[in-house]
Structure formats: structure tokens, C-alpha cells
Amino acid sequence: MSGTTLLKETGPREVFCGLTSIVWLHRRMPDAFFLVVGSRTCAHLIQSAAGVMIFAEPRFGTAILEERDLAGLADAHEELDRVVKNLLKRRPEIRTLFLVGSCPSEVIKIDLARAAERLTTQFNGQVTILNYSGSGIETTFTQGEDGALKALVPLMPSSKEDKLLLAGTLANPVEDRLKTIFNRLGIKNIDSFPPRQSTELPSIGPGTKVLLAQPYLTDTARELKNRGCEILQAPFPLGVEGSKLWIEAAANAFNINKDLVSSTLEPLILRAQKALKPYVEQLSGKKLFLLPESQLEIPLARFLSNECGMELVEVGIPYLNREMMRPELDLLPENTRIIEGQHVEKQLDRVRETNPDLVVCGMGLANPLEAEGISTKWSIEMVFSPIHGIDQASDLAELFARPLHRHNLLTQKELEAI
């Protein structure tokens, strides 16, 4: 591990909960439905986070359990059964139903695993009913995907065939592009997890080599390993450097000729570096502070520092999986300050003290910081944007250059008005 400074911090947090990941999971698996078992607050969160979907019939909903349902647990179970029954009657196309737990105390008392089992039997195989927690007490927003995928692993058929499994939701065009590159290298048997239909779960087993596309799949990776899969060690496919090493990790695992790998990747790298240039000019030398939220902070910090020349003030991360992050940590500049966990007040004090040019943070913190004249980037944008792979490196850099450009324009206008 490089000479990074790893520190821990606990205290008040300001992050979205795991329910948020429903917003991209329901797009990925259109035959699945996500039923949040929660309060009105949960319903509001999911509706506002997914507000962009108003034109499509949503594939998520909330079974709202309130005080009156607390009269007895039997009532809560009855209420849940009633909601599920109505939902499946109205939407017979649903093939997988996720019951997503939340943090209100009335929900914590319900054994959703048992409810899922009971309902699966009741619906006699017509639909698979699973559960996971999206509770804000236990999860930050990307951990919701980890929970959903972990719940799916036991349903994946067994197989001994050699294959590459890309784990973690990617934008469909990005995933297609990455598969094309692997095909060119001669890796033809590739599956994705989650699949594009919840019923088309890939088979896994001792011949499966897993390349994690997202850094927040700790539990899923452990479950896949327990099923005999090999988890490949690599940085994550953000930026040219990370994506190259990520692809090379798979190529090594499949014994692909190194010359073929470099002749395939070299033109892509040259093109991506050329496209990156204007953004490097804007970002180079700028001070960056990442507050913990998405779990993508370390790969982003590595990209923005190594390829865009930004100076890392502090890299916050909700939790640090050292094993999974080792290849990333090795690439960070010496003495990068990494803080695991959060004490939001202390972090905001450090932001003000260090006066960075750009802060990557959650939506709740962005507005107050902007009001103080500090440029921000919402970390949630990273999970909605197609940012993975060599070809996407300049688009990724542009996401960070944009708020700086905006800040410059506003400052210029203010100066002109004086």
C-alpha cells in the first residue's frame, strides 16, 4: 500500500440512504419491482430522487407502514401481504419483487426475510420475492445495490465454465463497449451482473473470474467468492489509467498475449488522452476535497490527481474495504489524506479552512457550500452518468471542469457588475 494517511472519523453523517440505488437498479432490470417497506419520508425520498421517471410507469413503490400498523406485528404483515397481492395483480409482468427495508422503527421490527419467503410460497413461483435493507442506519446510497445483488447471488445457477463476470451496474452502451474490447482480446464468454432482465441471472462457479466494475460491492463479492468465483484484483475502470489496468487484469487472468492487449488498447488510450487535454488544462493545480458519500471517492481522487493534475486536500469515504481498494490506494500520491467515516461538522470546518477549488459532496451539502462561494459537484451524478472505461475519461473530467467553469463565469460577471 502506498504512503497514504488513513484516518477514521465518526459523528453526524450527511449522506443518502441505500434506497437511492433503486433509481438506477429499476432501470437496469425492467422486469423487477422494488417495494420499499417504509414511511412517508422514504416515499418522498425515492420519488424525488427518481423524479426524472415521471413519464414511465415506475417500477418502484412504497408500502407505507405507520403508527396504526404498530398495533400488532400481525397487522403489519397483513398490510404488507395486501400491498404485495394488489401490486402483483395489477402488474403481472413483475418477475422479481424486492422488498426493501428502511429505518423507521416499525419496519425494523418486521422480519422481511421471512415475509419474502412466505410470499414466494404464496405466489407459487409466479414471481421471486427477495429482500434487502436500504435503511439509512445501515447503508449509504450505493450500498443498496450491494444489498440487492447479494440477495440475487443464491439464485444464480452453478456452472464450471470459464467466463468473465462484470459485476456492478454500468450504463448499457458503456457495458456493450467494454464487452467489444474484451471480445477483441479474445475473451468471448462474458456475463454481466446484474443482468438486463432479473430472470436472466448468469451462472457462476469455479471457472468464473469476476471483474468488479463498481467499488461498493463488498458483500456481493464475498458471496460470489463463496460460490467459488475468483475476484480479480484491479483498480476500478475510471479514467484511462484505471480502465487500462482493469482490462489488463482480465487479460492476465485469461492469459491473453500482452502484445495483443497493448495493440488493442494503445489507440484508445491515445485518443482518450487527446480528448482529456482541454480538461486537464482547466483542472490542473486546482484543490479538490471529496466528502464521503458514493464510495467512488478513491477511484475518482486517483483519476483527478494522476490524470488531471488536481491537488487532493482530503478524500472522504463512507467505509474503507482495504482489500478491495488496495490497487487503488497503491496508485494514489504519497501522503494522500483519506478519512473513513464522517463527522460532517468537522469535515465542513476543514473544507472552510482549506478553501478548496472544488468539493465533491452530497446534494444536501452542495447548496450551503455554493452559497459560501465554494464550487461543488454532486457525487450522485457519478452513478447516473456513463463514466466507466477509457473512452469515457474525458466525459468524466468534464463533469468536474463544468462547476469550475461556471464559477469562473459567475465571478467574471460579478466583477463586471462592480
Q: What's the rounded Cα separation, in Å, for the pair 186 and 183?
A: 5
**Angstrom distances, CA of residue 337 to CA of 93, 113, 292, 299:** 49, 40, 13, 14
205, with CB counted inside 10 A (0-12, 13-18, 19+), is: middle
Quote the CA–CA distance of 189 and 183 in Å, as a whole number. Answer: 8
Beta partners for 100?
Answer: 36, 132
Q: Which is nearer to ligand SF4, 17 or 396 (CB)?
A: 17
Residue 135 binding ligand SF4, by CB under 6 A? yes
Is residue 38 at the binding interface for ligand SF4, with CB under 6 A as the rule?
yes
What is the closest distance, in whole angstroms, from the C-beta atom of residue 37 to ligand SF4 in the complex? 10
Interaction of residue 96 with ligand SF4, rule CB under 6 A: no
Q: Which is nearer to ligand SF4, 102 or 336 (CB)?
A: 102
* Cβ at position 60, least distance to ligand SF4 in Å: 13
Q: Is 17 in the site for ligand SF4 (CB under 6 A)?
A: yes
Cβ closest to ligand SF4, residue 42 vs residue 397:
42
Residues 6+ apart with CB under 8 A from 121: none
Should residue 42 be labelled a site residue for ligand SF4 when binding is judged by CB under 6 A? Answer: yes
Structure-block grid coordinates of residue 4: 497514504
Instruction: Check residue 39 for interaction with ligand SF4 (CB under 6 A).
Output: yes
Please identify which residue in 4, 62, 96, 102 interacts with ligand SF4, judged by CB under 6 A. Answer: 102
Shortest approach of ligand SF4 to residue 363 CB, angstroms? 14
- Report the residue number whose CB is nearest to ligand SF4: 136
Nearest to 100 by CA among 146, 132, 140, 60: 132
Measured CA to CA, the distance from residue 58 to residue 294 in angstroms comes to 24
Other Cβ atoms closer than 10 A to 339: 23
* Nearer residue to ligand SF4 within complex by CB, 37 or 338: 37
For the bound state, the minimum distance from the C-beta of residue 303 to ligand SF4, rounded and expressed in Å, comes to 29
CB of 20 to ligand SF4, least distance (A): 8
- Under rule CB under 6 A, residue 282 binds ligand SF4: no
Sign of CA dihedral 291, 147, 144, 233: positive
Q: What is the per-residue binding string for ligand SF4 in 204-243, x denoting contact by CB under 6 A?
A: ----------------------------------------
Angle (deg, nearest 10), helices 393-417 and 258-283: 10
- Residue 394 interacts with ligand SF4 (CB under 6 A): yes or no: no
Q: Which of 94, 104, 132, 171 binds ligand SF4 (CB under 6 A)?
A: 104
Considering only CA atoms, which of 221, 353, 340, 233 is closest in space to residue 287? 353
Q: Does 136 bind ligand SF4 (CB under 6 A)?
A: yes
Residues in a beta bridge with 210:
165, 231
* Residues within the interface to ligand SF4 (CB under 6 A): 17, 19, 38-39, 41-42, 45, 102-104, 134-136
